[in-house]
Amino acid sequence: MQLWRRKFLWLALSASWILLIFLGVFPLLRLAVPPRPQPGHPNGWPHWLDAPLLRSFFQLEELPEDAPQPPPASHGGSCSWGTCFDTSKCRGNGFKVFVYPATGQTSEVHHRILASLKASHYHTPSPSDACLLLLLPSLDSPAPACSLQPLHWNRGRNHLVLNLHPAPCPRASWLGQAMVAEASPMVDTFRPGFDVALPHLPEAHPLRGGVPGQLQQYSPHPGAALVALANEKGRWYMPGTHTSACPWNGHCEQDPGPEKTHPGDMLPNATFCLIPGHRPEASSFLQALQAGCIPVLLSPLWELPFSEVIDWTKAAILADKRLPLQAFFCFPSVLQVLAALQEMPRERVLTLRQQTQFLWDAYFSSVEKVIHTTLEIIQDRIFGTSARPSLLWNSPPGALLALPTFSMSPQDFPFYHLQRGSRPEGRFSALIWMGGPGHPPLKLIQAVAGSQHCAQIMVLWSGERPLPSQWPETTVPLTVIEGRRKTSDRFFPYSAINTNTILSLDAHSSLSTSEVDFAFMVWQSFPERMVGFLTWSHFWDEARGGWGYTAEMTNEFSMVLTTAAFYHRYYHTLFTHTLSKPLRTLADEAPTCADVLMNFLVAAVTKLPPIKVPCSKQHQEGAPLSPGGTGPRPEPQSPPRDCINQMVAEFGYMPLVSSHLRLDPVLFKDPVSVQRKKYRSLEKPQGKGC
């Protein structure tokens, strides 16, 4: 009788395990391992599970086209974008934001955020001219005043309440018609298309710049774990070696030791990061992104950050909401899941890990990027059908660097030509800056106009003297533009520029037609970069404890001078409309800093160094002069040392990238006679080289 009971108990337990594995593990297996193409999708499963993913996010031509999506259902209130936001206030002055000043006791971080917003291109000091009024509750108080109503509240209409941490106040008690940008909002109170879901930021998150992603190689390191599990205290457990001491329910019997303080120490060293769906574990989401660990979200009860525009299916794995969480934590299920994740194709793992690094760097690595992303999402709602497509949000360099005021078509930006297999147009516009007294540079104009690729020449006159009455005749249109006697004028997006390529020149530069043609040919192969003749290099000065840079000719360089350089005209738009006011003021007050600032901007966008091309003689007889200067200097003058350190402080990091690459036509020996060579004049030694 006792033997029969044992057999019955053993059969019952075996049947329970088999049923549990069948119901709890197989859905995860189907989730982790991409299924073979089938005629239809399994009923009840998300559509994206069968969608083909890219082998690499650099292959943008494989991205699916944006399809119109039905408006999401609203939760947690009757307010929606159409009923509680007045877009008519945004038509006259554009998307301008008024920031309420700090009141009461506020933290240093609070003041720095307000200062950053006021220095941005969004800010307006007048609430009557604002499209959006932003209220940032105090960060160091235990809770914002639930009855707080600022002066221009108007029942919260056209207001955005920014909570970088989960807010304890019931939103219905005081928000009215205001939008809420909250960290990790609950899905049952979040209003899609009206509120904005923010990431859960740690207290020590950098204000600007931020730490880059920690993924050093896309294939798993031999010493790295396959899976890490997050718990509500922000720690990570690596199962597989001590599963008995640290079971998968997150409650470890062993003492994990004192809490670590360095943010990098908390990053998981694994390929997949399992994140339970409860709200406290939401803080682990950003840690996984920074580490390049693919988040595996187990039925999250909180809204994913910026889910309105970010396609998280390209960077994370979302478990089915029907999957019981208890079944997943069973030890046999763990083994099955580990085996399933191990069998995931390397191409898909590579794609997901690459996307985590892009999203981290583009939208989450600093508080400033989080706030600007929030504002850009609201701006896209105002543009409506003219807003940026999903491709610009989910592909490098990201929507913060792809302004909709410039274009909504990816082919108009310099970042997507090579990925789409296209080439830029075969014409350029020459922009010659005259910042001091002197006569029109006749030889320079003739040399540039002689290029078969030159479409127009524009002279930017920034001198105090009247315009010359006579200008040289050219075979291409020549236009004279009067500037405001500011160095930043040379980087203004003038409507008269009718090509995507700009050849930026100084009146004291000296170029031949062959040099112009060759440099333009090189730029067409690198349309996202700057291609120039004269170079500078930056270095870390240990003695002074800061950055420095030099104009000495060395094998290594990180900047090219805009006194003779090719680049895309879109960088004029970024320079004028995205750089902070202190940076533009710095360029105007110290004209020699303008070259550094433009190189900072392009390097921050591309993460790449510029391209150097050779010159047969000294290009520049003098450095760029401020308006009203006394004349050209005999040698180029390096900018002030503090210039680069001020820019690093504003950017939050050093974006410049060093390079040793120089493209030279002499290196390509054509098997033809000298008279038939395309760039034969560049092979002749003429004067002092660059």
- Is the link from the previous residue into 397 a cis peptide, with omega within 30 of 0? yes
Cα distance between residue 192 and residue 211, in whole Å:
30
Alpha carbon distance 455, 434 (integer Å): 20
Q: Where is 29: in which H helix or E strand?
A: helix 26-32
Encoding tokens for residue 323? 């999957």
DSSP per residue, 568-636: ETHHHHHHHHTS-HHHHHHHHHSGGGHHHHHHHHHHHHHSS--EE---SS--BSS----TT-----SS-
Q: Are 352 and 330 a contacting pair, CB within 8 Å?
A: no
Distance CA 459, CA 215 (A): 47
CB proximity list for 622: less than 8 A, separation 6 or greater: 508, 631, 632, 633, 634, 635, 636
- Could you tell me which residues come within 8 angstroms of residue 177 by beta carbon, excluding any fewer than 6 positions away? 79, 84, 85, 155, 156, 157, 159
Q: Which of 50, 595, 664, 670 is catalytic?
A: 595
Q: Is 595 a catalytic residue?
A: yes
CA 359 to chain centre: 8
Beta bridge partners of 278: none
Please report how many Cα atoms fall inside a 13 Å half-sphere around the Cα of residue 330, on the Cβ side. Answer: 19
* Cα–Cα distance measured from residue 29 to residue 332, given in angstroms and rounded to the nearest whole number: 13
Among residues 413, 425, 420, 421, the alpha carbon closest in space to that of 454 is found at 425
- Residue indicated by tokens 């599963």: 243
Which residues neighbour 121 within 8 Å (Cβ) at sequence distance 6 or greater? Answer: 577, 578, 579, 580
Q: Sheet holding 97-99: strands in order across?
A: 97-99, 132-135, 159-163, 179-183, 196-198
The DSSP bridge pattern shows strands 225-230 and 236-237 to be antiparallel
* H helix and E strand count, the chain: 16, 20
Helix (H) or strand (E) holding 163: strand 159-163
Task: For strands 97-99 and 159-163, give the pairing.
Answer: unpaired
Sign of CA dihedral 668, 672, 676, 680: positive
C-alpha of 230 from chain center: 27
Q: Tokens 């994206």 identify what position?
A: 48
Locus of tokens 């995931």 = 344
| Rg of the chain, C-alpha, whole Å | 29
Q: Name the burial class of residue 19, with classes exposed (0-12), middle (13-18) and buried (19+) by CB atoms within 10 angstroms of its CB.
A: exposed
* C-alpha–C-alpha distance, residues 390 and 48, integer Å: 15
Structure tokens at 95: 């998307």
Task: Name the residues annotated as catalytic.
Answer: 595
